[in-house]
């Protein structure tokens, strides 16, 4: 398929993906300051079950054969109104700067959406930041805001009664994160199935390492975990995820977060309906700080609760870090 002198193609196998990997990581570095090697870029596709099924991407090349645009395709089950919805996900999208403003992004999106529709998927999602130029393109393609990523916030814990505390996960436990997540959150609104080895995927992506994962549970009895930055940043302890079995567990884990030394505040960016009451009980308050980060969707089955769209705490389990 051709558009304004660019050749649009579907990348159907890993050999074709490897052929464009060098140019693709250059595009991503320019767009997101995400430094990947070509080998690690291809490894992401072989590590993440959501990316295994082809076609893997939509590409645009110019007349010299140089990559001008790349749109990564993923598939994942997603829970809405108690039922699993089969959705596609656009996990990365970039157009070379000297090829922009020629309708190339719109052409890439059309081919991607046509591909998803031909597979009979119920909807398509993507994560973005409001204010970006691309957001208007997403809206033109029928995408709407599903939810924003705000945060729960609390000051450090003070007083004589201290919680259990948090210990690092052991070498075996860190490789069971998907199992723990799915066991606790299965069926919750916004739950997207975790597959494969979460730690291995995040290692390949160059983001979170095992020392981010802690638990209040004793050794040999892992029921849940907290994903939290190993050290405070600018006086804030940042937690990205909290997953556990019941309210008592959540209160203990959330208070233990507040008891960690060295921070002026604790910030938790996670929508988890199981933890909502426990967050308030543990002294956290919801802050819609007009977060620029949001998930957008296209497809009627994904119509969200209005509170999610407005930026409220809502009833949603996905974290921003759950999918690129």
Measured distance CA(323)–CA(295) in Å, rounded: 10
Residues 6+ apart with CB under 8 A from 62: 5, 6, 68, 99
CB 113 within 8 A of CB 225: no
Measured distance CA(28)–CA(55) in Å, rounded: 19
Tell me what pLDDT residue 248 has: 96
Tell me what pLDDT residue 145 has: 84
Tell me what pLDDT residue 13 has: 92
CA of 105: how far to CAs of 21, 97, 137, 192, in Å? 19, 11, 8, 27
Tell me what pLDDT residue 31 has: 83
Measured distance CA(247)–CA(256) in Å, rounded: 14
User: Would residue 102 be called left, alpha or beta, if left means φ above 0 and alpha means ψ between -120 and 50 degrees?
Assistant: alpha
Check whether domain 151-287 has CATH 3.40.630.30, yes or no? yes
Tens-digit pLDDT string for the chain (324 aa): 888 788 999 999 999 999 999 999 999 898 887 888 999 999 999 999 989 899 999 999 999 999 999 999 999 888 887 788 889 999 999 999 888 888 899 999 999 999 999 999 989 999 888 777 888 889 998 998 887 777 889 998 876 656 778 999 999 999 999 999 999 998 888 888 888 898 998 888 888 899 999 999 999 999 999 999 999 988 999 999 999 999 999 999 999 999 988 888 999 987 788 998 999 999 999 886 656 778 888 887 777 777 666 666 666 777 666 665
SS3 for 112-151 is: HHHHHHHCCCCEEEEEEECCCHHHHHHHHCCCEEEEECCE
Length of the chain: 324
Tell me what pLDDT residue 299 has: 85
CB 249 within 8 A of CB 224: yes
CB 153 within 8 A of CB 287: yes
Measured distance CA(269)–CA(125) in Å, rounded: 19
Tell me what pLDDT residue 161 has: 58
Residues 6+ apart with CB under 8 A from 249: 216, 223, 224
Q: Is 157 helix (H, G, I), strand (E, B) or coil?
A: coil
> Model pTM greater than 0.75?
yes
In the chain, the N- to C-terminal Cα span, in Å, equals 28
- Domain 2-148: which topology? Aminopeptidase (3.40.630)
Number of H-type helices and E-type strands within the chain: 9, 15
Q: Is 74 helix (H, G, I), strand (E, B) or coil?
A: strand
For tokens 């046509």, name the residue. Answer: 114
Q: What is the edge-to-edge ordering of all strands in the sheet holding 67-80?
A: 2-3, 6-11, 57-61, 67-80, 83-95, 123-129, 293-298, 144-148
DSSP string, 48-95: -GGG-SSP-EEEEE-TTS-EEEEEEEEEEEEEETTEEEEEEEEEEEEE
How many C-beta atoms lie closer than 10 Å to residue 46's C-beta?
A: 12
Q: Where in the chain is the domain with CATH 3.40.630.30?
A: 2-148, 151-287
CB 314 within 8 A of CB 147: yes
Evaluate the CA torsion angle 18, 192, 243, 177 in order and state its sign: negative
Selection from 200, 137, 185 nearest residue 317 by Cα: 185
Measured distance CA(29)–CA(68) in Å, rounded: 14
Measured distance CA(89)–CA(92) in Å, rounded: 9
Measured distance CA(204)–CA(41) in Å, rounded: 8
Tell me what pLDDT residue 34 has: 81
Residue 96 tokens, joined: 């070379």
């Amino acid at each position: 398929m051709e558009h304004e002198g660019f050749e649009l193609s579907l990348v159907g196998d890993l050999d074709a993906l490897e052929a464009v990997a060098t140019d693709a990581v250059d595009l991503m570095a320019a767009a997101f300051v995400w430094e990947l090697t070509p080998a690690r870029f291809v490894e992401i596709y072989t590590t993440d079950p959501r990316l295994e099924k082809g076609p893997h991407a939509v590409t645009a090349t110019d007349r010299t054969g140089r990559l001008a645009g790349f749109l990564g395709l993923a598939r994942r089950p997603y829970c809405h109104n108690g039922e699993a919805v089969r959705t596609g996900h656009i996990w990365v999208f970039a157009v070379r700067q000297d090829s922009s403003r020629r309708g190339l992004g719109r052409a890439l999106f059309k081919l991607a959406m046509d591909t998803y529709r031909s597979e009979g998927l119920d909807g398509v999602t993507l994560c973005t930041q409001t204010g970006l130029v691309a957001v208007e393109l997403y809206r033109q393609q029928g995408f709407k805001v599903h939810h924003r990523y705000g945060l729960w916030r609390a000051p450090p814990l003070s007083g004589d009664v201290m919680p259990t505390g948090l210990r690092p996960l052991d070498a075996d436990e860190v490789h069971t994160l998907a199992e723990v997540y799915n066991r606790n959150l299965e069926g919750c609104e916004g739950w997207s199935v975790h597959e494969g080895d979460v730690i291995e995927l995040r290692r390949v992506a160059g983001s979170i390492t095992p020392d981010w994962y802690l638990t209040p549970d004793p050794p040999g009895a892992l029921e849940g975990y907290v994903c939290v930055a190993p050290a405070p940043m600018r006086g804030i302890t940042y937690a990205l995820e909290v997953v556990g079995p019941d309210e008592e567990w959540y209160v203990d884990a959330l208070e233990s977060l507040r008891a960690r030394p060295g921070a002026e505040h604790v910030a938790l960016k996670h929508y988890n309906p199981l933890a909502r009451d426990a967050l308030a009980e543990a002294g956290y308050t919801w802050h819609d700080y007009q977060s620029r980060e949001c998930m957008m969707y296209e497809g009627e089955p994904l119509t969200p609760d209005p509170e999610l769209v407005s930026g409220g705490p809502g009833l949603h389990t996905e974290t921003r870090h759950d999918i690129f």
